[in-house]
Structure 1
Amino acid sequence: MSYKEGCHPIFPYTAQEKQEIRKELGLKESTIQEGMDSILEWFEKQPHLIDAGLPDRDFVERMLLNAKGSIEKAKRRIDNIYKFRYLTPELVQNRENHLDTDIYRFYQQATCPELYNLKRVTVIQITDSDPNSFDLEVLIKTSILLGDIRLKCDYFLGDIWVLDLTNATFGHLLRVNPLIFTKASRLFLDGIGIRLYAGHIIGAPSYAQQLMQFFRKFASPKLADRVVFHDNLEDLYKYVPKKYLPKDYGGDQPSFEYFKEKYLSVLRSEDTKKFVVEVAKQMSDESKRPDASIHDEYLSGSFKKLDLD
């Protein structure tokens, strides 16, 4: 994609924020460059990866940052991403057709263009109270696609998520496919390596306890403890200032409708479509993987606890 560094319309950042993030992680320019060189040298020697073509340095740098500078952890996660793309085409492929559909027909999303303490704040709201309209696979496919863009264009220390369940019902929960949920969670945590600093839930329905019980089946205590339920917006503001929330929640950011139009404009542009389609083709050839089974536990139905660094 032909955006200047830090100038992506959805995920901008400043040169100062970039330096502060590096400082927070204890990474110098020379260390990052050496780490990227090492990872790319390793990649070229992997028989199951090299036919996919070398990843660009922007992607490798983000993976190194998400791994807090650990070269070995970054290698393992890159390998996982390429394997995931091969093993779960239902969540990664056919992106052009996916973007031509009404991807926001049952939910809204707003990612604040300003970093909050070097973290990216994203708000997701379920908009349709009819559970028949809810399609977790659509939400996940869009999130993975956005994740690929972030690994090229964003620069952040971690994520803060706000989930509005005001319009959700128990029927929505019943439509959550545990296997799809687990596959996607493994990609975000074991592949991309997203660091979730906090998850905030507002408008929690009466079945909130069942929801947390469902979540705890997949999450480690460390991750589950970072999820906070709020009875009202005033309580949410104690954790996420209004400055970083859409005006639908009394915040200073534009409305959900503005973000929807912006997202669709960017995602449906020829430049972005070409990028996300090409990225999805960068996958492993599991028939050439040395001394390993392709049946990874997080893709074959084994529900190991999700964990954080």
Structure 2
Amino acid sequence: MTTPYVCKLDAATQEKALKELNEDPKNRQGAIDTFRKWILEQKHFKSPTDNIFLLAFLRARKFSQLEARRMLENFLKRREKLNVWFKDLDPADDKISHVIDDGVVLVLPGRDSESRKVFVFNVGNIDMSEKKYTKNDAFRLFVTVLDYLYLCDEMTQVHGTVTVIDFSHMTFAHQTKITLEDRKNFLGTWQKNYPARIKGVHLYNLGSFMEFIMMIVKMAMSEKVQKRIVVHAHGLESLYKYIPEKMLPDEYLADDYTGSTGGSQKQMIDQLKDDFRKPEIRDRIRHLSSREFHIDMKQKDSSVPEASFRKLAVD
């Protein structure tokens, strides 16, 4: 029997969830149970059904049952299609650890003024020599971080994330080996087929070539996400208007800055590795990415109409 949900969110977060996500404490357990019942009735897929997992989709779709169902199916289809990125993830795997060591993804400590988690994706730090890992391992780390933030952390489900994509140190190898298809799959997974609240995307040090590539890639992005993209082309000063300096790595701060910081990149790397070794985090991510969970749309019963549920504007 599934354990009833016990809310551990603080009062301010619960208020935000009610106001922005239509998460009414009086109806929340019923919404979870309805969603779970529908999942267990489906013959064409098998999915996790724990409370935190289901809440990620309900919150991402403002508690619209119909929209949450659609997102879950798309989520599972994407994981099936790109199984090289999504299946059998192990946060403590040696290859994942090597990618972390290169500073490809930095999860900044704390939260910003709106309680959002901030992380930095250093594309140019991916080692394209593929001596210790492949580019797919780098994308596997990114997916692992998303699972860590959204499928393990309720605060992030409600408040969302802000991402800095740093294109510094990009080389010709990055531009050619990370294909346009890779970029589309990466962005398509993140902003369309994942229960993420993307509250801001900051592109730093793009360069003319990457500006051209991003212009093409943005065509596949929703208008909502496009409006949340900010390009920082002339130094980091403009980034400080959006990301608190006290959260950023020392390496991203001006020489004359004397306030508190998030620590060095090395400290953030070590912290992420420590977090990924915690049994409750490692075991959960390994469980969620298990091949036990799958989907086969050919087995979907098309004769059964989708139930009619209220459709809400999606943030």
Bin of the TM-score, shorter chain as denominator length: 0.7 to 0.9
Structure 2 residue aligned with 1:273 = 282
Give structure 2 stretches of 5+ with no counterpart: 1-5, 254-259, 304-313
Which 5+ residue runs of structure 1 have no aligned equivalent? Answer: 7-12, 293-307
Match of 1:237 in 2: 240
State whether residues 57 and 68 of structure 2, in contact with CA within 8 Å, keep that contact through their aligned partners in structure 1: yes
Identity %: 18
Letter in 1 for 2:300: R
Q: How far off its partner does 1:117 sit?
A: 0.9
Pairwise CA distance, 1:252: 2.1
1:55 pairs with 2:57: no
Aligned partner of 1:188 in structure 2 is 190
Q: How high is the TM-score relative to the length of structure 1?
A: 0.78
Counterparts of 1:1-309 in structure 2 under 5 Å? 15-25=10-20, 26-49=22-45, 52=46, 55-96=49-90, 99-101=93-95, 102-106=98-102, 107-126=104-123, 128=125, 131-132=128-129, 135-149=134-148, 150-156=150-156, 157-230=159-232, 231-250=234-253, 252-281=261-290, 282-286=292-296, 288-291=299-302, 309=315
Residues 85 and 283 in structure 1, CA contact (< 8 A), matched pair in contact too: no
Give the conservation status (yes or no) of the 8 Å contact 1:148–1:276: yes
The separation in 1 between residues aligned to 2:125 and 2:152, in whole angstroms, is 32
1:115 and 1:33 map into 2 onto residues whose CA distance is: 29
CA contact (8 A) 1:182 1:218 kept: yes
Deviations 1:62-96, CA, capped at 9 Å, x for gaps: 21111122221111112222333333321112323
SS in 1 for 2:100: coil
Are residues 130 and 274 of structure 1, via their aligned partners in 2, closer, same or farther at CA, if it must alter by over 3 Å?
A: closer
Structure 1 pair 75–170 and aligned structure 2 pair: CA distance change class (3 A): same
- Counterpart amino acid of residue 245 in structure 2: K
Q: Does the 8 A contact of 2:191 with 2:221 survive in 1?
A: no
* SS of structure 1 residue aligned to 2:267: helix
The 3-state SS of whatever aligns with 2:107 is strand
Displacement of 1:261 after TM fit? 0.8
C-alpha separation in 2, matches of 1:129 and 1:54: 31
CA distance in 2, matches of 1:268, 1:98: 6
Q: Could you tell me how far apart the structure 2 residues matched to 1:128 and 1:83 are?
A: 29
Amino acid at match of 1:148: D
Structure 1 position 270, deviation (Å):
4.2
Contact 1:243–1:253, Cα closer than 8 Å, also in 2: yes
Rounded to whole Å, the distance in 1 between the matches of 2:216 and 2:135 is 15
SS in 2 for 1:161: strand
Verify the 8 A CA contact 1:120 1:158 in the aligned structure 2: yes
C-alpha deviation, 1:191, in angstroms: 2.8
In structure 2, how many angstroms separate the alpha carbons of the residues matched to 1:264 and 1:279?
19
Question: Shift of residue 131 of structure 1?
Answer: 4.8
SS in 1 for 2:238: helix
1:218: how far off? 2.5
Task: Please give the secondary structure, in 1, of the residue aligned with 2:80.
Answer: helix
Distance 1:283 1:190, change over 3 A: farther
Q: Deviations over 1:188-219 (max 9, x none)?
A: 23332323222112223343432332322422
With over 3 angstroms needed to count, the CA separation of the structure-2 counterparts of 1:65 and 1:173, relative to structure 1, is same
